[in-house]
Structure 1
């Protein structure tokens, strides 16, 4: 039902507006989100917008893509950051409740940026997951940026 509702909506709804000049015409992001027809169990209803020009796609194709919209990959990466990087750890409440303890947090923005860059690169080029067809691949392989799984040493020593 949600797919058919979206397909009907995209007969008229546009994520972009067309700008015409004497020499050419081009599409500009209209900042025109829609409410996703299926609520998520943890977030409820949320808005979906598209910044990429999809004017060449038909309503059926756009509806299929919107049905697959979620932020699971982003949430997974943020959870890995929170679990793996102690320098970004939140302060703990003391046992007496009189203040905060930063016992495990030695936050330095410069080093935090370095560590996040290494973790992001590791996540995209070294850590595999099982794809829909059953293969163990990295996000970089799925996007066609890489053709192999890299080792952490390859990333750190730029091989």
Structure 2
């Protein structure tokens, strides 16, 4: 699971998936982004990051490889001396505790620039190469895309409008009943996951999130959802 740095989210994750976490079958990663950056600053960091990776690859004898491959090799080397947890000795027993020890993602985002990654679950049973593969997938674009859908499709959850004079805000479309907001988001989430296909850079055709996760092999229609039995 990938979230931003929100304690309420990862506390909920550990409560719901406590068994899976204790068995090492579920892990939680955090993306830490500096949202004060402008798009120009983020794009500049994106360009600088690719140049740095290219230079690192040349200096380490990695040639004729893609940027993602160089990023993986660099990250794997960093993880040989990096841990996300600290060990605590108590009553003669050693416990592992989240150390809040983030690492910089080797591939800066084109619209966010450099960002950090942390992991709150225990990764001690994994080798650096396995952790590196997981971290390279830690990005919040899918979450941001869904939040944009919420803002565009649900008027009651839209940001307040600025008045013509620019000195006040209008909440004309605002929702005053949290229960209705929950209903609306649940309906939109179902539609987004099962009915709304899109094409990513790795896809030859448009797929829904449910298809990408292997939950289904078809695109559902609204009628399929409404009359599901």
Please indicate, yes or no, whether the TM-score normalized by the shorter chain is above 0.5: yes
Q: TM-score, normalised by structure 2?
A: 0.57
Q: 1:124 aligned to 185, 193, 198, which one?
A: 193
Number of residue pairs aligned between Structure 1 and Structure 2: 158
Q: Does 1:71 align with 2:140?
A: yes
Provide structure 1 residue ranges, at least 5 long, that are not aligned to the other structure: none
Q: TM-score, normalised by structure 1?
A: 0.77
Alpha-carbon shift at residue 143 of structure 1 (Å): 1.6
- 1:31 alignment partner, SS class: coil
- 1:129 alignment partner, SS class: coil
Which has the larger helix fraction? Answer: 2
- Please give the root-mean-square deviation of Cα atoms over the aligned residues, in Å: 3.0
Provide structure 2 residue ranges, at least 5 long, that are not aligned to the other structure: 1-55, 57-70
Whole-angstrom distance in 1 between the partners of 2:156 and 2:87: 47
Whole-angstrom distance in 2 between the partners of 1:133 and 1:38: 20
Larger relative contact order, structure 1 or 2 (CA cutoff 8 Å, min sep 6): 2
Task: Determine the structure 1 residue equivalent to 2:183.
Answer: 114
Task: Determine the structure 1 residue equivalent to 2:216.
Answer: 146
Q: 1:109 to 1:56 in 2, by over 3 A?
A: same
Q: 1:134 to 1:19 in 2, by over 3 A?
A: farther
